Structure 1
Amino acid sequence: MKKRYSAVFAILLILLTVAPVFGQAAKKQLTFLFMPGVQDPFYTTMEKGVRAKCKELGVNLIVAEYPKAWGPEYQVPILQAYAQRGGFDGLLIAPTSVDALKAPLKAIYDKGVEIITVDTFLGDGDYSKPNTDYNFPLSYIGSDNYLGGKMIAEHLAKLVGEKGKVFCEATNPDASSVAARVKGFRDGIAQFPNMKLVGVEWCLDVQQKAQEQTLAALQKDKDIVGIFGTNVFSAQGANQAVVNAGLVGAIKIASWDATITNIENLKKGVIDLVLAQKPGEMGSLGVEWLYKYLTQKVQVPKKVIPGFEFFTKDNVNDPNMQQYIYQ
């Protein structure tokens, strides 16, 4: 009997000794890496959403160096440097190419790191497709850019009386988000028989180039009545071109991205419409879904699509709208 009690006591002692170790393992702090696409107000606002949610959930955050310009040639070396160091369990990234980021991200995934793409995606963005080389990310969290481009076209058409020539100043053709915005805008304008899209230019995220391209378009087609700027740099460059040409008011401008500059130009009457994405929400949702998957194995939706808000001269000073301005 004594031997039996001694054995039971020994087992209890072992369990009491090992239990705290298991408890510590269960409470291991997760670390996430955030890899933005480029240095601009959209991604700095997204970073704020990432930081806030990481703090709330007790996740350690590493923010990668912001690429100095858009493109895989700038983003991939930074990404690979952080991958070499390791030490992170999840990755939130805005891929700067639908194709060139596939292999670098797959290499990171194969090391056991879960990935969510934010704002932009790999391939066609449908990660549910089997037998593709881009179906490994958990989810794409970002805008429905095609829908946004089409809605911009519809709003701009109303502003110009549903007739006349319009121009699109875009940025990077290999960026999934921008390509979809241009396609949506093109298809949206095509719905109006008395309207014509006279050109699409790509500034490669260089605001000065966007300004020069827009000015050249205005000189070529002096009867342009509307312009769509597809992102921060293209929109702000296009806006400045219209100001320099002395055509404020004569040309209606729709801008993507609610930067402080775009909002101020809306208040001044330089811009007529600003589409606001929700980058802070994208970042927050990215952290939340990564955390839920890694801690609870919750099934993550393959796409999570926050909506849009539209700033106009009528609501630009509305206190409820100020939360959508990029910081």
Structure 2
Amino acid sequence: MKKLCISLVAVTLVFMLAVGAFAADKTYKMAFMPGITDAFYFTMEKGAQAKAKELGVELIVGEYPKSWGPEAQVPILEALVARGDIDLLFTAPTSTEALIPVLKKVHDSGIPVITVDTYLGDGDYNKESNYNFPLAYIGTDNFAGGMVVAEQLAKMIGEKGKVMVENTNPDVSSVQGREKGFVEGMKKFPGIEVVAIEYCLDNQEKAQAQVAAVLQKHPDLAGVFGVNIFSAQGAYRAIVNAGLTGAVKVATWDATEDLINALRKGEVDLVLAQKPAEIGSLAVEWGYKFLKDGTPIPDKKQVPGFFVFTKENVDAPDSQQYIYAK
């Protein structure tokens, strides 16, 4: 009997060691579903790929949607999840509401979800709600960034005059946060009036036309804030085409090479850069910790900072790391 017990213990130990070795050797598969085809998400993917390589994670990237919105993103997302071998998904939901049932279904199927850049609902995943299932939101504090842009632009125009916001989507958390932060920030300057808020739906040509129309209505416009890549690029080109470079100050969001070059030429006056590579890296890192050890993400939120480019620092060696990849 004693020999039998010893044998059983030995077998159990061997089994446990084998299971432990299997767990240690397991290669996790994570999927990244971008929001749209642009330099911001390309840069996020690069950061995610670098961290995945470091941790031995296999990163599968969904097809980049050609336009922004659930109608473009959801079919690609569903096809990505249908592979059946995904351990965790991180994605930028293209609507605060429309993506809730879609991502809840993914979660309920046993695939943990992290939202990056944009969030569901109001982004508070700690409170009781129908959208509190993601492990975390990892992205910029867009409201704070909007306030920073407001303060910088206010100084550029002498704290008086008319300004406008060229936004993109009314139901996306990131750009709404930027708009609200900007409007709130401008309340500190009684001499400044926000005369227009337009939505281009991520169409650069539409943004350009909207800013041109506001210039017609308000020829004394002093400043423009373009809240993302498409709205910003359309906004500054409208100012250039109107021959008002320098007279109308242009503050933009997202450090694409196009916007950085425009800053160098004086066609743009400020560029706020997010840190998309860090966002992607954090998504993989925290996803790996959760899958491997069940480690929760603090406060269900990780918020990298941002960097503000001006003409004075745009060519500084330390600034180059914040320019987005192609």
Normalising by structure 2, we get a TM-score of 0.96
Pairing of 1:209-220 with structure 2 (within 5 A):
209-220=206-217
1:141 aligned onto 2:111: no
1:19 corresponding residue in structure 2:
17
Residue identity opposite 1:116 in structure 2: I
Instruction: Give the number of aligned pairs.
Output: 324
Tell me the CA shift for residue 27 of structure 1. 2.4
**Structure-to-structure mapping, 1:130-209, within 5 angstroms:** 130=128, 132-209=129-206
Distance apart, 1:5 and its partner CA = 4.0
* Aligned residue identity for 1:42: F
Q: Which residue of 2 aligns with 1:317?
A: 315
Secondary structure at 2:45's aligned position in 1? helix
Alpha-carbon shift at residue 189 of structure 1 (Å): 1.4
Which of the residues 81, 86, 90 maps onto 2:84? 86
* Unaligned runs of at least 5 residues, structure 2: none
Q: Distance in 2 between matches of 1:255 and 1:10?
A: 68
1:266 corresponds to which of 263, 270, 277? 263
Q: How far apart in 2 are the matches of 1:179 and 1:244?
A: 27
Structure 1 residue 71, shift from structure 2 partner = 0.4
C-alpha separation between the residues in 2 aligned to 1:206 and 1:53? 32
**1:97 corresponds to which letter in structure 2?**
S
Shift of 1:258: 0.6
1:238 aligns with 2:235: yes
Q: Give the aligned partner of residue 33 of structure 2.
A: 35
Relative to structure 1, the CA distance from residue 13 to residue 266 in structure 2 (aligned partners, 3 Å threshold; closer, same or farther) is same
Counterpart CA distance in 2 for 1:37 and 1:171 is 13
Q: 1:75 aligns with which of 53, 70, 73?
A: 73
Q: CA deviation at 1:38?
A: 0.3
Matched position secondary structure for 1:106: helix
Change in CA separation of 1:156 and 1:8 when aligned onto 2, cut-off 3 Å: same
Following superposition, the deviation at residue 7 of structure 1 comes to 6.1
- Give 1:229's aligned residue: 226
Give the match for residue 49 of structure 2. 51
How far does residue 22 in structure 1 lie from its aligned partner after superposition? 4.3
- 1:101-141 CA-partner distances (Å, limit 9, x unpaired): 000101110111111100000000000002x1000001101
Amino acid at match of 1:235: A
Given residue 55 of structure 1, which amino acid in structure 2 is its aligned partner?
K
Q: Show the counterpart of 1:306.
A: 304
Q: Secondary structure, in 3 states, of the residue corresponding to 1:293?
A: helix
> Where in structure 1 are there 5+ consecutive unaligned residues?
none
Secondary structure at 1:275 match in 2: strand
Give the 3 Å change call, closer, same or farther, for CA 304–6 of structure 1 in structure 2. Answer: closer
Compared CA separation, residues 296 and 6, structure 1 to 2 (3 A): closer
Using the TM superposition, give the Cα deviation of residue 150 of structure 1 relative to its aligned residue in structure 2, in angstroms: 1.2
Instruction: Give the drift of 1:294.
Output: 1.2
CA shift at 1:19, angstroms?
Answer: 3.4
CA displacement, residues 68-126 of structure 1 (integer Å, 9 cap, x when unaligned): 10001111111111222221111110000000000010111011111110000000000
Distance 1:41 1:90 in 2: 24
Greater gyration radius: 1
The one-letter code sitting in structure 2 at the alignment partner of 1:313 is K
Distance 2:4 2:81 in 1: 51
TM-score by length of 1: 0.96
| Counterparts of 1:21 and 1:194, CA distance in 2 | 68
- Give CA deviations for 1:163-192 in whole Å, capped at 9, x if unaligned: 000111110111100011111111111221
Counterpart amino acid of residue 77 in structure 2: L
- Structure 2 CA distance for partners of 1:4 and 1:81, relative to 1, 3 Å: same
CA distance in 1, matches of 2:141, 2:15: 53
Residue identity matched to 1:12: A
Tell me which moved more, 249-258 or 12-21: 12-21
CA shift, 1:299, in A, is: 2.1
Q: Percent identity?
A: 56
Counterpart of 2:89, as a letter, is: L
